[in-house]
Amino acid sequence: MREIGHFIGGKHVAGTSGRTSNVYNPATGEVQATVALASVDELRAAVENAKAAQPKWAATNPQRRARVFFKFVELLNQNMDELATLLSSEHGKTVEDSKGDIIRGLEVCEFVCGIPHLQKGEFTEGAGPAIDMYSIRQPVGVGAGITPFNFPGMIPMWMFAPAIACGNAFILKPSERDPSLPIRLAELMIEAGLPAGILNVVNGDKAAVDAILTDPDIAAVSFVGSTPIARYVYGTAAMNGKRAQCFGGAKNHMIIMPDADMDQAVNALMGAGYGSAGERCMAVSVAVPVGEETANRLVEKLVPKIESLRIGPYTDEKADMGPLVTKDAYNRVNGLIDRGVEEGAKLVVDGRGFKLQGYEDGYFVGGTLFDHVKPEMDIYKTEIFGPVLSVVRAKNYEDALELPMKHEYGNGVAIYTRDGDAARDFASRINIGMIGVNVPIPVPLAYHSFGGWKASSFGDLNQHGTDSIKFWTRTKTITARWPSGIKDGAEFVMPTMK
């Protein structure tokens, strides 16, 4: 049995807490490895390592820091097939989907190659009589990231790339469900020239999370996961004097206007709703057709496509989607489908009971479609995180707009239409963080920032883009006046520009 430990100080370290968790093959249900769960002392050892290494790294000029990421991007591309297969073997998503996961992280690494420009401050000559004023951006010190199972490549890189590029050391606490890829990424960072101790990977559960949130030497924390945990992490981090950005759950709607290209809308829903078995925080899980005719056409076109989804293990190159990540996830999604039936939604396509020959113990759920879903139903309010799409019929545009506006989550939303006025009005009025106009999954590219509104996000600064540089640095402002500009005698009034 393969044993997965930690990566501290540039080398693999076995767990010493005596606690472990199983890592499964989602396609077969078999245990393929065990992962160590860190104690407070093990987490503290990683922090000490990071704290010792960070000052020298911060003093390294930004061009040299950028060169590490240039090399790291090169290594990611060279090892893409191996990395994607490793990811898929523990998560269950298809290899091509895993490559997309890694590439979206790689793009953030490409973005931070511009750190010499991104970390520049500002300068004002002659801000006052013989006074110059300037600001500089300095690293916060030691940062930490707590990442979810669904993107074990992308989200760690979204966090550690800008943090490290800015001159910080970093503690990564990945999901214990698929821990191998994050450790492999740390190995490649060392190969790219990163000094030992700057990126440490500590596997663990709540004990490790709480240790991160209370450790006095960790200055900033980034988190992605469920909303209840995001609230907990944000509140606990703030209470302990830490900067925090925490991203929670989602319930992403797609509004389909009567004038939309229906084939485009249906294809978009298929990919956005069922890709990665729906285990995406930006998955579209609610379709909102405007008008009965639009709804009937939408459902009519969706049903045969859902029924013909090719579901298989990650080794099936033709599979559209794979299994869910664990048995707990499988039971939860099936339970929510049961709940939808109990609540009176019309189950048009039933994914329960799906079995794949040779993989009968895998965590597979077939594509599922509910129609006539109402806003008061649990399946509408809850983030299902599985291959389940709900159709909520809206009488008109205003009713359709009201649905995502009133939902507690505000991560992403999309509208499909040919009407520029409707699209512009929608983008202006909607209270959601990321908007797609004829784009189903509006995840911004690396040089813009990712983040939702309402209960989907806690904190003032988003991930990647220029927000990430602000989050992982502190601004220091210097006001300077040299002796030739200083008047004789003490000044007792508040200095002004009068």
CA distance 206 to 209: 5
Residue type, 227: T
Question: What percent of the chain is predicted at pLDDT more than 70?
Answer: 99
Q: Model confidence over 351-375: pLDDT tens digits?
A: 999 999 999 999 999 999 999 999 9
Q: What is the mean pLDDT of residues 161-168?
A: 98
Specify whether 113 is catalytic.
Answer: no
- pLDDT tens-digit readout, 14-69: 999 999 999 999 999 999 999 999 999 999 999 999 999 999 999 999 999 999 99
DSSP string, 365-402: ---EEEES--TTSHHHHS---SSEEEE--BSSHHHHHH
Round the average pLDDT of the chain to a whole number and report it: 97
CA 232/CA 235 separation, integer angstroms: 5
Interatomic CA distance for residues 81 and 100, integer angstroms: 11
Q: What is the mean pLDDT of residues 400-429?
A: 98
Nearest-angstrom CA–CA distance, 115 and 36: 35
pLDDT interval class at 443 (50, 70, 90):
very high
When pLDDT is averaged across residues 446-466 and rounded to a whole number, the result is 97
Query: Which tokens is 240 given?
Result: 């302990």
State the pTM of this model.
0.96
pLDDT of amino acid 497: 67
Distance of CA 333 to the CA centre of its chain: 21
Residue 223: name the closest of 383, 465, 462, 467 by CA. Answer: 462
Q: Which residue in the block uniquely carries the two structure tokens 């009068």?
A: 498
Domains of the chain are 2-248+456-478 (3.40.605.10), 252-437 (3.40.309.10)
Taking the C-alpha atoms of residue 117 and residue 186, their distance in angstroms, rounded to an integer, is: 25
What are the angstrom distances between the C-alpha of 406 and each of 180, 201, 342, 412?
Answer: 39, 39, 24, 14
**Predicted local confidence at residue 109, as pLDDT:** 98
CA-closest candidate to residue 267, choices 416, 424, 92: 416
Catalytic residue among 113, 166, 246, 281: 281
State the number of CA atoms in the 13 A half-sphere of 237 facing the CB: 25
